[in-house]
Chains A and B, each alone.
Chain A
Amino acid sequence: MTLSDYDPIQLEIFKHLFAAIAEEMGTVLRKTSFSPNIKERRDYSCALFDAGGLMIAQAAHIPVHLGSMPLSVLAALERFSEAEALQPGDMVILNDPFRGGTHLPDITLVSPVFDESQALLGFVASRAHHADVGGMTPGSMPVSREIFQEGLIIPPVRLVRAGKVNQETLDLLLANVRTPLERSGDLWAQIAANQRGTNRLVEMTGRYGQEHIAEAMRQLLTYTERMTRSLISSLPDGSYEFEDCLDDDGISDQPIPIRVAIRIQADSAVIDFTGSALQQAGSVNAVYAITLSAVYYVFRCLLGLDVPNNSGCLEPIQVIAPIGSVVNASRPAAVAGGNVETSQRIVDVLLGALAQACPDKIPAASQGSMNNLTIGGWDPKRRKAFTYYETIGGGMGARPGSDGPSAIHSHMTNTLNTPVEALEYAYPLQVSEYSIRSESGGAGKYRGGNGIRRSLQVLENCQVTLLSDRRRFAPYGLAGGKPGQVGRNFILRDGKELPLPGKGSLELKAGDLLVIDTPGGGGWGKG
């Protein structure tokens, strides 16, 4: 059975079938992983690709992985071609940000899927944020100056060959991380997730036939492309520009401007980041995959809920990001924070520009940071090294028509918090406050959402690393709304308050209280 050019029924059926594969992979990964980042905070994504590496479905997990997962598959395909072509049962692991990755803790596992006759059906991939991949600070989210300080770099290599784990590769990998048992557990969870996805795609092919599946994949890509074109057509033609800044790169205190011009013409768009800052000495650099993800995210939000997440969305959109800039960094730039902080600012400038084109659809700026907090050290009571990583929610920007929600993750992330009781079972830390910062949202006709205060007492000497932004430049308001309050970080030591920078790494003494106040969202409309 083959499909006609356009079949609304098959389209809808396969939309669900493909999405179900990605979601089932996610369930397996979440339920069997060991990193709190994956299991409690759900910092992972799973996706399905066609034989050419185009993304067909991604489970609704983490937006920052959206545009970047296809680049992982392409990197694997590029590395393993011709004589070295991937075989059934192979799985390729990678985290190199300049070869298909985003930042080093995000480890991606790509599996080619073959049918019984060894024909390539497509790929499945899982990406998870591992709690530690080595490097200069526990948690591998340092304020670094080059990528080599950020941890182990894994180019595309086969972790699994013909169904058998390559123990030597795994040994090398585990020798370079602070918590090897946890790493190994997480990798097993990713292998299980990929295996599940592979089985499902093979089963589906058995039921519908390879040609039918391939045609359905093509149609779904066209479908999303059609939806995106219809969306872009609804925007008035023109060029919309916006600029905003990251506070600094954690090394110098120079603001880092990010600039965008969105040129809409008929049913296609050019997103031009020319004029953005050059890549920085600190770790705020975003690789191209991140910038692509941010663009993807913004258009995906405007598209509506039923549209499948696939590569078709980017078809009518051209992204210009100058090589060597903070939005398209080159090796050996430090990139740990590009994924988490710069990605948020890229979204802010995109939304700021689009607010001129469709003001009734765009909220004011959200907190614009993920407030990355990493604490690591030696836990003498549990007799093991520990690494705790958390991102903290804040205020979302007010929308035309409603207040922004408080104490929530916005835009490029949607990770869960670590429950206080789970955290205290696992680490020498004690949470003393987890509350909503009242009045931190920007005023306006509609108020921005409030940020969060999270205070932790460290019970042992340890090292803390902060990667946070919007400590100087507040989240903007729109249509006359006021900006949200900036965030701030400080410690209380012996009763004295010591301010901390937005980005930095320092030693804490047992008994220190670390306080993170996250930014509020901008207001919308004159109050």
Chain B
Amino acid sequence: MRIGIDIGGTFTDFVIFHPSSGEIETFKLLSTPQDPSLVVLSGLERIFEKYGRQAVVVHGSTVSTNALLERKGACCALVSTRGFGDVLQIGRQNRPALYDLFADPAPALVPSEWRLEVDERVDHLGHILKELDPNQVENLITVLKSAGIASVAVCFLFSFLHPDHERLVTDKLREAGFLVSASHEILPEYREYERMSTTVVNAYVSPVMESYLAHLEDQLTRSAPEVSLQVMQSNGGIIQPAEARRFAVRCILSGPAGGLVASQAIASLALPGEKLQVITFDMGGTSTDVSLIDGVPQITTEAVISGNPIRIPTLDIHTIGAGGGSVARLDAGGALCVGPESAGADPGPACYGKGDLPTVTDANLVLGRLLADHFLGGQMLLDEVRAKRVMECLGAEMGVSSTRAALGVVQVANAHMERALRLITVERGHDPRGFTLLSFGGAGGLHAADLARGMGIPHLLIPPLASTFSAFGMLAADVVKDYTQTIMLPGDTPLTELERLMQPLAERGRSEVHAEGVPATDIRLEPFVDMRYAGQSYELITPFHPGFMLEFHNLHQQVYGYSHPEAAVEIVNLRLRAVGKITPPPLAARPMHAQQPNQAWMETRPVVFVEGIRQVSLYRAEALLPGNRLAGPALVVRADTTLLLGLNDTASVDAFDNILVQVGK
């Protein structure tokens, strides 16, 4: 039995997969934010009582994310090369907001008094300029012990070329019982601030992750000793808890990773054949996540969380502050703004009955797109009168009707989301016309078809598992480990030399993934090189194979619109991704039925479109059968989301209960 668990702000989702029967089961429990392990343990207990105590549990945790966002990580210290401890605070010396005289940069995670410096120096060729005096390390230990600091980050200049000094300090501190994050272990790449920041974030969040996982494992060992626990990472792969405890920075952006992994699994079933080209769209209450799958999910090394650069490979998920709960208002110049303020869950949109601020959800209700009596499967009746009233107020300010105001709110919200979608597609050299939009967030179904239309995206996919999508993704995730090493070599370095340098990374990858319990035959190694034209500062991650040079020029052409095949090239980093293949839960295809969706039809309702009011058929999604076809305009209502089909859209239900929309004009 495999169990996926996704801890959200409100609910914790559980997905159980029984390999023997191929069955999948899901349930939700209320989250326990003060101690997230409580809900995990009680949910697991419920499963164990029913099915026995043997399972692989894959766990997506926001423990490290929240520690960083809420700045509730460990009190930690930084040990740096003398003269460079303040680099952590100086950062890149730019200010966060150009035209805000009152903005403050995020305070450094380690205050100046705990930024300790030692005499040592290595140059850019990896030569030692100044030896490290071991006595200084003894002094460090005394100082840190007396201060009661347990977690220490170590980051020296050029340690990725010559790690001996860092290693010496790290070893001694570990012998003395400290939890040490060493930059040459966490990110052996050049650019001291980003490496230091990543290392310090690890030192900051690891103790929190450590105590959380220790507690969880401890409890599980008692109640179910045969359960093995695995943890989701930001790169979309899973690792053992022991790894997650040491390298908690790798889990910081794991929250939305499950959804992306699930998207890949579902889309490869629903869209078989050609190369997978999918844009994922997860619109929730306060924010919207978008990302791109071009064959595989895209990876970035430029993540920044609340002012802290984290340069480890992370699924490239772009988040914007616009969602169903985003508040609409007119600003001083008379433009209709939507978000980033959100009505949240409390008071929530006006139609929840408490708040008085007009939101995107209220606009959808006023337009008849959201149905007051079908929200959350009818469990919560929305207040239409209240929604209309706030939209009328907004309209009065603009000198238009409540309907026109509501249409405007939706259009502006769509403009925000379109900008996010453009950022991850056209701006990075991808033509959206070849992609399918996959929408799985609660609020997304009402906006997805219009967005696809605006972007020229021909197809829209709505999977059935939406509400437990992320937890399902945990079960589909492979074991993934990423390795890098800065080498800074010219492009004409012989292939054999590069292969030789890649070898240690490959060996580490193979053995460490094997140690996670993956048989050697299921391990795949994906080597890359980070390349640029000599003199540039940004590298393109290029697959490493005998034709990698040509591929680099082609990539540069695709992303930036030009290439210089005759120009000198630099190979900055070697990069290796080791993947241990996990067989995802096979979803069973259901038999096809008639095209007529009569059994799912409920009634007709008036809905406002830009083109005017239309009587629209209402269908219950749960009653749709594979093979059914729908023609827009239509509303498809499901317990957790509503899908709006525009006037010329058509849709069909596939054998896996996905709704596939052909987006019309």
Contact = CB atoms under 8 A, between A and B. Distances in A.
Q: Which of B98, B407, B427, B533 has the most CB of A within 10 A?
A: B98
Nearest to A394: B93
Given A8-B336, A60-B98, A422-B190, A196 B123 contact: no
A192 B561 contact: yes
Given A399-B101, A424-B123, A452 B90 contact: yes
A426 to B, nearest CB: 9
Q: Which of B97, B412, B416 has the most CB of A within 10 A?
A: B412
Interface in B293-344: 330-338
Contact of A415 (B94, B330, B533, B561): B94
A8 B404 CA distance: 11
A433 interface: yes
Given A20-B419, A430-B123, A304 B332 contact: yes
Interface residues of A, number: 80
Contact of A27 (B87, B191, B412, B427): B427
Interface in A420-466: 420-422, 424-425, 430-436, 452, 455
A419 B190 contact: yes
Contact of B102 (A36, A181, A402): A402
A410 B537 contact: no
Contacts, number: 188
Q: Which of B95, B190, B407, B416 has the most CB of A within 10 A?
A: B95
A434 B335 contact: no
B28 interface: no
Interface string A11-24: 11101110010001
B86 A422 contact: no
Interface of B is mostly: loop
Interface in A50-97: 60-61, 63
A497 to B, nearest CB: 17
Interface string B73-110: 00000000001111101101111011111101100000
A401 B95 CA distance: 18
A477 to B, nearest CB: 15
Given A16-B419, A405-B95, A452-B93, A436 B112 contact: yes
B440 interface: no
A181 B535 contact: yes
Contacts of B214: none
A115 interface: no
B100 A301 contact: yes
Contact of B193 (A15, A195, A419, A436): A419
Contacts of A393: 90, 93-94
Interface stretch (A220-228, A263-271, A333-341): A220-228
B124 interface: yes
Q: Which of B99, B158, B423 has the most CB of A within 10 A?
A: B99
Nearest to A20: B419
Contacts of A63: 98-99
B130 to A, nearest CB: 10
Interface string B143-161: 0000000000000011000
Given A421-B192, A452-B90, A8 B123 contact: no
Contacts of B335: 8, 11-12, 15, 223, 306
Nearest to A363: B101
A414 B561 contact: no
A436 B86 contact: yes
Nearest to A410: B95
A228 to B, nearest CB: 9
Contacts of A305: 97, 99-100
B99 A419 contact: no
Contact of B101 (A192, A301, A422): A301
A227 B535 contact: no
Given A39-B538, A399-B101, A452-B90, 10 more contacts: A9-B412, A11-B336, A32-B562, A36-B537, A61-B98, A307-B333, A408-B105, A424-B123, A433-B83, A433-B84
Interface of B: 83-87, 89-90, 92-95, 97-102, 104-105, 112, 123-124, 129, 157-158, 190-194, 330-338, 398, 407-408, 411-412, 415-416, 419, 422-423, 427, 488, 533, 535-538, 556, 559-562, 564
28 contacts: A8-B336, A8-B398, A31-B538, A33-B537, A36-B537, A60-B98, A181-B535, A192-B562, A226-B334, A227-B331, A227-B333, A361-B101, A392-B93, A393-B93, A402-B104, A410-B95, A414-B98, A417-B92, A419-B193, A420-B157, A421-B158, A421-B192, A424-B123, A424-B124, A425-B124, A434-B87, A436-B90, A436-B112
